[in-house]
Amino acid sequence: MTGTAGEPLRVILRMEIHPGMGAEFEQVWRSVGESIAREPANRGQTLVRSTEEEGVYFVLTDWADERSFRAFEVSDRHTAHRRRLRPYRRGGDMAVTEVVHRLEPDSTTPPTR
């Protein structure tokens, strides 16, 4: 699976973090994320925190293609990253997706106030 029209493969992780551990998790995630960013097939990642559910984060990670992502997923580096994040996690899940449409903002329309 690859994204539509050259779009990346997008992996979405939902991570439930133990109460009171959010700030430390964010620091460790950043360190792990910087390491993952050095993977040749990684196309970037974003950590977002839910405003509706306490202790819930989402990681959006883009990869060149599914083959590259799956190879990373079974690598020793990935295992080490998971091990570093495990103490903070109380649950979560993963979805592997492909971008179907991307709509950029219309730069000719003035912003509304």
Per-domain residue ranges for the chain? 4-98
* pLDDT score of 17 more than 80: yes
Q: How far is CA 16 from CA 33, 74, 88, 95, in A?
A: 17, 22, 8, 15
Confidence bin at 6 (pLDDT 50/70/90): confident
**Predicted pLDDT at 110:** 75
pLDDT in tens, 88-112: 999 999 999 999 988 888 877 777 7
H or E element in which residue 90 lies:
strand 89-98
Rounded Cα–Cα distance for residues 48 and 34 (Å): 16
**Predicted pLDDT at 109:** 73
Question: Hey, what are 58's tokens?
Answer: 């989402």
The CATH architecture to which 4-98 belongs is: 2-Layer Sandwich (3.30)
pLDDT in tens, 21-79: 999 999 999 999 999 999 999 999 999 999 999 999 999 999 999 999 999 999 999 99
| Maximum Cα interatomic distance, the chain, rounded to a whole number of Å | 50
**Predicted pLDDT at 107:** 79
Cβ–Cβ < 8 Å for 43, 64: yes
DSSP 19-81: TT-HHHHHHHHHHHHHHHTTSTTEEEEEEEE-SSSTTEEEEEEEES-HHHHHHHHTSHHHHHH
